[in-house]
Amino acid sequence: MFLVFGVLLLTSSVLSEKDDLNTIYKAIKDITGFDRNDLIKMREAVIAKKIGKQILVLDRNLRKRQHDYIKATLSLPPDARRFMYSLIHSGMNPKLKRPSIFKSWSGLESKFRGKISKKSCSKLLKKFPGLAKYNICTA
């Protein structure tokens, strides 16, 4: 009996899509346009500024995209903003162990599914149309 259960469990884990930090990075890329390298550069710039070291200068394109992201996110209602911050922080700080840092898309999705109001979702989807394919909320 336990052998059958073990085989079924192993089979399902092999056949299922791997749900790890890469799913967070894929969602971030689809939703915001930032890839893993962009997140690393932004994180390094933040750390350099915090510790008072030489300010790391982001290239013009990345700086503009970061500015546009911040501007769009700040214009969102609190529930949608919380989701976007959790998404981006999960990619920028994957080693932190905080409730707002997720190690997989499914973890983030389970926390926020049904928690974003329809009105907020509508605004969120207008600002970040790439989110539509993830069905995290309904407008």
Instruction: Please give the Cα distance from 114 to 88 (Å, whole number).
Output: 19
Instruction: Please give the Cα distance from 38 to 58 (Å, whole number).
Output: 9
Q: What would the mean pLDDT of 33-51 be, rounded to a whole number?
A: 88
The per-residue pLDDT for range 5-28, each reduced to its tens digit, is 444 344 444 334 466 778 999 999
**Range of lowest pLDDT (28-42, 81-95, 112-126):** 81-95
Helices marked H in 75-133 — which ranges?
78-92, 105-112, 118-127
Q: What would the mean pLDDT of 103-121 be, rounded to a whole number?
A: 91
The per-residue pLDDT for range 69-105, each reduced to its tens digit, is 999 999 999 999 999 999 998 888 877 777 667 788 8
Instruction: Please give the Cα distance from 127 to 130 (Å, whole number).
Output: 9
What is the pTM assigned to this prediction?
0.78
Domain ranges for the chain, please list them: 18-134
